[in-house]
Structure 1
Amino acid sequence: MNKHNYPVFFICLILIFVGTISISQETNPKLRKATDLYFLPNPTEKEDLDAIRLFEEALNHTPDQEESKEFVIASEHLGNLLLSYGQVSKAVERYRQGITWARAYRQPDTLVYNHHLFLGEALFSISQLDSSLVHLQVAERLQNQLKGRGEPERLYNALGVYFFETGNYIRSISYFDKAQSYLTGDQPELEVYARYSFQSNKASALYHLGEYDSAQRIYTQLLDFNINQDQIRINLANTFLQEGESEQALAVLNQISPDYKAKSLSFFNLKAKSHLLSGNAVDAKESLDQAEKLILQDSSSERSFQKGVWMEVKGDYFRKIGKNALALVEYQKAIVELLPGFEDLKITSNPVEFSLGMSSLTLFEVLTKKAETAWEIHRSTGEESFFELGLGAWQSAFGLSQFISVNFDNDKARVFLSEKALIAFESGIEQLMAFSELKKKEELVWKAFQWVEQSKAGGLRIGAMQEKLKRKSQLPEELIQEERNLLFAIFRNSQKQFADPAPEVKAALAKEAVDLEVQLSRLREKFKDFPGFGKDLLEPFDLKVFQQSIPEKSFVLSFFMGDSTLFVFGIGREKFSWKNIPLTEVPFSELNRWIGGLVKEPSGSRYDLNQEIARFGASVLGPFEQEIVHAKELVLIPQGVLNSVPFELLPDAEGKFLYQRIPVIYQFSAQFIQHIQGHQDLNSGLGLAPFSDPENSSGFSPLPQSSLELDAISGEKFVGKEALKSVFLEKSENADFIHLATHAVASSVDPNQAFIAFYPEGEDFRLFAPELAFQSLEKAKLVFLSACETGAGQLSKSEGLISLARSLAFAGAEQMIITQWVSEDRVAAYISGRFYRHVADGMTFASALYQAKLDLLDDPEMAQYHHPFYWANFRLIGQPNDIAFPQGWMIWVGFLIILLPAGFWIGVKFWNQRAP
């Protein structure tokens, strides 16, 4: 094996250090001989192995100061050779040895640039993700010091691959673009392969983001490279299928070479899918028959992803020609093929236990198709058994989506999964609600509501619960890291299987997948040994249990948009009702215009409500008017685009605005709601106002009123230069509540770029969303984030707004006040001051915020801020609470409780004295 199979930029970097061979090689003949062998232009395997032996013998001694530089360089050379021969663990040891020597002998950091880069790549290849990223980021920092030297294209591609594989597709694209920018064109014959790799990776990332047009443009351009054209055409056809463009997919597939076609099961599967999509069942059957011949030629008994896809497409074919019973049989076969450990071919059987793998998403699709088909048979035959079969298949599919989410290790991947799963939820819920009307069974509406809440913010709930359990159970960091590494290895294995490899490779991957699953199972058994980690993350949502958690004087409104209907569910302690509104009656365009107008600063204080918005308010609130009138707090659980609607500004059937009637709380899902009892004192707080000083060097505008916000709170307060990010990180974990009066920036493109700003001392003054998400804020009863757009962000139909509020929820904050759009400095100070005053008087958080807004509207000195733009942006995401009397009223109540028995005793004595 030849070490010079590395890309050209690797060789160039090695040549940078050729001139460093000096004194130690004069005195260390083994090191000199090993280096000579290393730089042979075309070494034999024997010469490579001799070099490895000599390097190892030389490096087993500790160098002195004069030798240290050469020993550091030699450790990298030895690591490179070991990697060439697949000895990754030994290579990792040698790279680390070089880094240790460089640190010990105070050599320049740039000397170990290669060590960090190659070590990061090596660790990535064995799925040690966090360690890999640490070294790649060190190399990235050193790259800036090398000023044109180094291997920037290789480094940035490695970082791009890291973020691609971990689900951060947006960030991966930035790195692939950056890697390509370093290709100078000086060596076009070699650079074409690097350019192909960068562009292909970028197209894959775009495909995963659903940006199919952009992926198609890149794949089309890559065909001109004349590299691996058949695989590029397979990928290109896939993008057309995702867009429903069957004819274009077929046109691309027909250009694939005969040799590739003859042995590619994925080709025939895609061709059959394309024919079905275009309505050509005859040609689809022909493609399926050709695929079957390949399957019969494969003597391997291992499960195959592409074979499972073939069974799925075969089921689609039978469904297309009206043979639903046969379709169910094929879907069941596909489930067995795609799910290791599940062997039951009876269509009445649905899996309840799952395993990880690339086939998981396809398995989810198959289960939903099985459910749809069973219900189609039920509608045509009236046989109740098929209704129950379909219901069970839906339950299995939704259980699988939860299982996958639990096992994903990053939020980006969970959001992507939730969006995929939502399509099935929309279909299943819409159909189940229709069946509930036909069958006159309210329990089916309960089931539909359970699915509704399961579909909302499921990724957030699971991610937040996992982080909370890990913090509470005090799991050792090495176990958490081991879990991340195993999950990554499993997903890497799945992707390799997805590529339809040769039978011998397929068998090896299947064996590796089983071994990894066993390792993961054993590791998670260890988790259960730690206190508090036994809680089941997959515990189903139960309506009756949920109802009992709602305070007696609270009412919940939950919204869900199905395929053609907006469902509004009203839930109280003893009440459950619902309203179905056709989507054709929801004024989406007017809602968007209305919200767009609200977020712009008005020229006056007058606020006029569009009649269509008024009718919409009456349609969603009117059916629950009596419950709202008699409630003390209203909890709203919006979904999709309704997350951006300021419901407090909607009128009811009587024309009265919601903000005039009742305090409002928002929540991500009913699964987040917990009953809080009694008054919550806010005592030991943490307040930061970094931009109160009119002069700062950050470019952010001053917030002179922000220091006044802190006047209303008790606890530690940091203003101006004292309000540092480091202070927040140090003190937030133990704060009773947190108030941040600062600037924040939202991002609707990449939510990870959203941040909260602290005083700009140095470059690291921004707290970005991912870093915020992994703080521990569970002790905080409330986080008041008084900054612009802290509740805004990228909209996910299933997960809601991917905002800083989501990061706070990950960090353990159960109650928070955030803003939906820009806030005005003086209004923020007014509302926060009144809020804390009302909380001190015994009000709940919802009532205190509600009253603070009314105070502003009743205050003639604040007349210029009466337009909803200034105050309707403040939103409480939190929990319903038993309404407590303000403290002054509590004193009077206590006084009356004492007086009444005394008065009764005096009265009895008086009347006894008057008795004859």
Structure 2
Amino acid sequence: MHLIWLIFFLGIFFQDSSAVSQDVLIKKYEQAIALYESDEPTDYTDSLTLAYLKEIIDNPSSSELETKVLVDIYEKLGSLNLIGGKLQEAIKYYKNALEFRGGSSSQDSIFFGSNLFLGETYYLLSKADSSIIFLEEAERLLAAKESKNESSRLFNSLGVIYFASGNYNQAINYFSKAKNLTIGEESFENLDPYYQYALYSFLNNIGSSLVNLQKADSALLIYKDLLRFGINQDRTNSQIAGIFLEKKLPDSALFYLNKISPEFQNRYDYKNQQAEVYFQKKKYVEAKNILIGFLKSNEALNNGASDFRLGSTHNLLGEITFESGDFEGSAGYFHQAIIQIDGLFDDKSIFSNPLDYTFGFESFSLFKALTGKAKAFAVLANKENNPSYRETAVATYQSAFEIANNVSNYYDNDDARVFFGDFVLESYQEAVGFLVDQYQNSNDREFLEKAFEWAENSKATGLDYSLNERQVKLDSDIPKDLIQIERDLKFSISQIQQKILQESDDKARQELQNLLIDERLELSRLQDRFNDFPQYLSGKMQSRNFNIPYFQKEILNDKTFLTAFFEAKNNLYLFSMDKENLSFFDLGEKKDFKEKIEAYKNSVRNYKVGERYKKGDLGREMFDKLFGPVDKQLLKFEGLLIIPHGNLSDLPFGSLETKSGRFLIESHEITRQFSLKFVEFQKIPNSKNLNKLGFAPFENHNWDNNGLYFSDLPYSSDEVGSIEGIIYVNDFATKSRFLEDADRANVIHLATHAIPDPSVPDQAFIVFYPGDVESRLFTHEIYNLNLDNTSLVYLSACETNTGSLSESEGILGISRAFAFAGCPNIITTLWKAEDKATAYISGRFYHYLKKGETYTSALRLSKLDLLNDPKMSQYHHPAFWAHIILTGNITESEGVHYTSFIWIAIVVLVFSLMILLFKKKKTLFNI
């Protein structure tokens, strides 16, 4: 009986003790929070806070605390460990906080911080995939948060992630969003110190992104403005020094480096810049000593652990050592850079490379390390004729290009892909040059095929990735409603861009700019969600390399000869191919071509009234230089497929003059293509089975406003009238009708005006009735069209193949936008068109198309008709016809070709004559 009462009283005692512990725990929690939020925290207050919080969670009664209190405790334990440099401990505590998340979503917002902090911590560990997962989850939870500061921190962190992965345009969007949320349009002087520092950080990050986008002058304006803030001037002076190093002005860079305090001079970025100054002054020993001394001191501090920030230091050492002539030492430093940057790869053998090509941070630095190492081995292979060096060079270049492929696939916008393609091109040029050397020394076709493959893989990479992604998306497991949301967002973005163009009020324009950033980020978040669908992600990431023997056998036909030009680092190369052979020719130094190419273009397009074209001059010279090595092979073929590159992208090949004195178009059907990757064999349906759509908005109409004049085009109605389809003229030829009908048309003909914009290609446009801003179809809108059913777009408008020239992508303009939208064949113009001659060619084109000719053949025959028509003699100058070009596929007509009727008739006639002759002989025999 006494024992029972004892147990009863002990039970009461422990219950009372537990209740007291709850109060104690809460008081201890409040004390810890007060210390944590101290205005002047110290190492002592941090350690005391840590002790209090650990004491709370170690108490068995802590499980009775509110979930939000426990989550907050674990978050703060994580943050204190993060501040102390204990990243793995921090991750453990942040994950403990997330373990309290149950099935209900009502309290989701309390886990925002844990996801945000986890993402930031994984970033510091250079674990890109994990970092992005948690930051994106924080972004999903953001809607439930009302704190602008927390939202701003998230957007800034996402900006850092995109910056580290090389997607600088998207990084600027996130940094700008963070700034807009926290600062708005307030000036620096009107902010309290906390927000002044925040403004400094946002602008500094935007400036860093601009530097990497090679917009150094814009970044310099930001940094010089930051100097007057008086915040972190060491960092700002370092950024300015970096810009002058980019400009190859080491003395100017040194001027700003000398302003930096001694405390900052121990940082890796300062040491890199200091060494870069000596490197640019060709003082290699001094530059190398600075970096080696710094690495030794850093190794002592970090116990030799890898640090992705030191990758740039090893990369610079690799460059310095390469220029010093120590190529094996250079390869070693670049290999060390790979180890430092990759984080997972730790094979010390310089003959090895990473096998994991997953998306990660510092992609640009890793790509530089791999290509730097490959370049060093390439030089060693040439110097010592060592097969191991040669194999390692090829394998390392291949690893670099595989990583570049994965990075481009992860980018969520065309601008980033084009920029990255240009960045990667120089390495492709070096790699192709190396393989060409190996081929010329060994005559091994394997080297030639690899050189050709890499040359073509370097071209139009942005367009290639985007088209593949677009098709994979349609065939994937992504729900249709998400794809529709994507379309709606893209349409909204286009609408906002147009409103910005029309808005004259600065404040209203800024509000639209902010809204544009919001919509772009929303689109980016949606496209990130697409990667959660396995079928889409695996399809998107598949390599799209081509097989040359297969191409020769299955794609090329007997009548087509392929010529592909490639601007290597110093020389212009020509690859040629038919169904049996692949050949290579070094055409000489490309600097010798550039001036002559421009001179020839000007001689053709700058026509003066009454001027006769002089044959046998530049046109003949250009043909000899470009096609001289394959002149005899050309004579065997009717079709010529040309893949231009660089300065040849807008060359009117058809007006070059062969050795016979004829224009090239007189002897060959000419098609061009962005890259061999895009070339397909396509059967063209009979013209009667093609749904044709034509627009001529300026047949008897013109537009004149604010200095922008669109003249009437009286022959444009004749153009569209010849297509025998649905046509809209003048006030019926509106943009809305085009958008409504375009996706159902097999052939689209636009006889109108177009305005290129080389500085901002997205703002180039085609004009519909009446000509105002609302009636203009901008390039960024064309990108969003669905032209999968469209076999041909005929852009009978001025300069539709004009725009800014990307070294890797080609011309960024209206023509590329239609290819982006899914149309495989595009007829477009290189310079301003003359209305009557253009209408003549268009009319004859559809005449021949109706007779069963392919697009290529019909265009050639229509130009020959113009050249042979005495009534059109004033339009025989190439200025009136050479600008019309076809980019597209190797085609064959599905319908019965009209020439086939001729052959059938001849066969029937011969057969009939033979029968008559036989009967006559039989009669004679009987006599």
| TM-score, structure 2 as length reference | 0.73
The one-letter amino acid of 1:539's match is: R
- Could you tell me how far apart the structure 2 residues matched to 1:482 and 1:325 are? 53
Q: Per-residue deviation at 1:802?
A: 0.4
Distance 1:408 1:617, change over 3 A: same
Quick check: 1:782 aligned with 2:792? yes
Please tell me the residue identity of whatever aligns with 2:831. Answer: W
Contact kept, 8 Å, 1:176 with 1:201, in 2: the verdict is: no
User: How many angstroms does 1:814 deviate by?
Assistant: 0.4
Letter in 2 for 1:616: M
2:626 counterpart residue number? 620
Match of 1:282 in 2: 285
CA distance in 1, matches of 2:816, 2:683: 24
Contact 1:335 1:367 in 2 (8 A): yes
CA pair 539-83 structure 1, distance change in 2 beyond 3 A: closer
CA distance in 1, matches of 2:562, 2:596: 25
Q: Residue 221 and residue 521 in structure 1: after superposition, are their counterparts in 2 closer, same or farther (change >3 A)?
A: closer
| Structure 2 match to 1:235 | 239
C-alpha distance in 1 between matches for 2:762 and 2:174: 9
Deviations 1:85-115 (A, max 9, x none): 99976662477xxxxxxxxxxxxxxxxxxx9
**Are the aligned partners of 1:339 and 1:355 in contact in 2 as well (CA < 8 Å)?**
no
1:735-746 equivalences under 5 Å are 735-746=745-756
Paired with 1:371 and 1:542, the residues of 2 have a C-alpha distance of 24
Partner of 2:97: none
Closer, same or farther: CA 479–322 of 1 in aligned 2, 3 Å:
farther
Distance in 1 of aligned mates of 2:167 and 2:376: 35
Instruction: Give the partner amino acid of 1:249.
Output: A
1:187-221 alpha-carbon deviations (Å, 9 max, x no partner): 49889879867864664454233243553455345
> Secondary structure of the residue that 1:606 maps to in structure 2?
coil
Q: Which residue of 2 is the match for residue 690 of structure 1?
A: 697
Residue number in structure 2 paired with 1:261: 265
1:746-785 map, 5 Å? 746-760=756-770, 763-785=773-795
Identity of aligned residues (%): 30
Specify the alignment match of 2:731 in structure 1. 721
Who is 1:640 aligned against? 646
CA contact (8 A) 1:604 1:867 kept: no
**Residues 771-794 of structure 1: CA deviation (Å, up to 9, x unaligned):** 211211011110011111110000
CA RMSD of aligned residues (A): 4.2
Equivalent residue in structure 2 for 1:292, among 290, 295, 301: 295
Show the 5 A alignment for 1:329-728.
329-473=332-476, 475-476=478-479, 523-527=532-536, 534=539, 537-548=542-553, 549-583=555-589, 586-608=592-614, 611-612=617-618, 614-677=620-683, 680-681=686-687, 683-694=690-701, 699-728=709-738
Three-state SS of the structure 2 residue aligned to 1:456 is coil
CA distance in structure 1 between the aligned counterparts of 2:447 and 2:316, rounded to whole angstroms: 31
Maintained 8 Å contact 1:319/1:373: yes
For residue 80 of structure 1, report the CA deviation from its aligned partner: 14
Report the alpha carbon displacement of residue 812 of structure 1 after superposing the two structures with TM: 0.5
Bigger shift: 732-741 or 251-260? 251-260
What is the CA-CA distance between 1:228 and the residue it aligns to?
Answer: 2.0
Q: Provide Cα deviations, 1:400-451, integer angstroms capped at 9, x if missing partner.
A: 2222222211111111111111111222222322222222333322221111
> Of the candidates 817, 820, 840, which is equivalent to residue 827 of structure 2?
817
Q: Structure 1 residues 648, 762: CA separation in 2 closer, same or farther (over 3 Å shift)?
A: closer
Letter in 1 for 2:743: E
Return the alpha-carbon distance in structure 1 between the equivalents of residues 174 and 854 of structure 2. 41
> 2:670, 2:886 within 8 Å by CA — same for their partners in 1?
yes
- Structure 1 pair 584–609 and aligned structure 2 pair: CA distance change class (3 A): farther
8 Å Cα contact 1:795-1:802 kept in structure 2: yes
Q: Output the CA distance in 2 between the equivalents of 1:171 and 1:600.
A: 45
Q: 1:589 to 1:323 in 2, by over 3 A?
A: closer
Query: Structure 1 766/168 Cα, relative in aligned 2: closer, same or farther at 3 Å?
Result: farther
Q: Find the aligned partners of 1:379 and 1:735 in 2 and give their Cα distance.
A: 55
* Separation of aligned partners in 2, 1:621 and 1:91: 60
Report if aligned partners of 2:576, 2:584 keep a CA contact under 8 Å in 1: yes
Alignment CA distance shift 1:807-1:228 (3 Å):
same
Unmatched tracts of structure 1, length 5 or more = 6-45, 50-78, 96-114, 130-159, 485-515
Question: Is contact 1:786–1:819 with CA below 8 Å preserved after alignment?
Answer: yes
Residues 739 and 416 (structure 1), Cα distance of their counterparts in 2 relative to 1, 3 Å cut: same
Q: Which has the larger radius of gyration?
A: 2
Cα gap change, 1:840 to 1:538, in 2 (>3 Å): same
1:244 correspondence with 2:223: no
Name 1:840's counterpart in structure 2. Answer: 850
Give the SS at the match of 2:313. Answer: helix
- TM-score, normalised to structure 1, is 0.73
Give 2:101's aligned residue: none
Letter in 2 for 1:242: E
Larger CA deviation: 785-794 vs 620-629: 620-629
Measured in 2, the distance between the counterparts of 1:410 and 1:750 equals 15
Of stretches 381-390 and 315-324 in structure 1, the one that deviates more from structure 2 is 315-324
Displacement of 1:749 in angstroms is 0.4
Partners of 2:659 and 2:174 lie apart in 1 by: 47
Q: Does 1:863 align with 2:873?
A: yes
Contact 1:843–1:886 (8 Å) recurs in 2: no
Q: Unpaired segments of 5 or more residues in structure 2?
A: 1-32, 38-68, 73-107, 117-137, 488-524
For residue 225 of structure 1, what is the amino acid of its counterpart?
A: F
Q: Distance in 2 between matches of 1:173 and 1:693?
A: 46
Residue pair 1:465, 1:537 contacting (<8 A) in 2 also: no
Deviates more, 1:649-658 or 1:815-824: 649-658
d(CA) in 2 for partners of 1:168 and 1:557?
A: 40
SS at match of 2:681: coil
CA contact (8 A) 1:815 1:878 kept: yes
Instruction: Indicate if the aligned counterparts of 1:677 and 1:882 stay in contact, CA closer than 8 A.
Output: yes
In the superposition, relative to structure 1, how do residues 93 and 223 fare at CA in structure 2: closer, same or farther (>3 Å)?
closer
1:137-171 deviation per Cα after TM superposition (whole angstroms, max 9, x unaligned)? xxxxxxxxxxxxxxxxxxxxxxx9xx995459799
Corresponding letter in the other structure for 1:780: T
The yes-or-no answer on 1:271 pairing with 2:280 is: no
Is this contact kept in 2: 1:172–1:205, CA < 8 A? no
Q: Match for 1:246: what amino acid?
A: P
Q: How many pairs are equivalent?
A: 754
Match for 1:776: what amino acid? N
Match of 2:512 in 1: none
Q: Measure, in 1, the Cα distance between the counterparts of 2:718 and 2:422.
A: 42
Q: Is the 8 A contact 1:553 1:882 kept in 2?
A: no
Provide the secondary structure at the position in 1 that maps to 2:674. Answer: coil
C-alpha change, 1:859 and 1:474, in structure 2 (3 Å) is farther
For residues 898-913 of structure 1, what are the structure 2 equivalents within 5 Å?
Answer: none
SS of the residue 2:412 aligns to? coil
Q: 1:92 aligns with which of 143, 157, 170?
A: 143
Matched, 1:826 2:836: yes
Q: Is the 8 A contact 2:785 2:821 kept in 1?
A: yes
What residue identity is the alignment partner of 2:472? L
Q: Which residue of 1 aligns with 2:886?
A: 876
* Pairs within 5 Å for 1:12-27: none
Do the aligned partners of 1:622 and 1:653 also contact (CA within 8 Å) in 2?
no
Write the deviation string for residues 784-834 of structure 1: whole angstroms up to 9, x where unpaired: 111111100001111110011111111011001001111122222211111
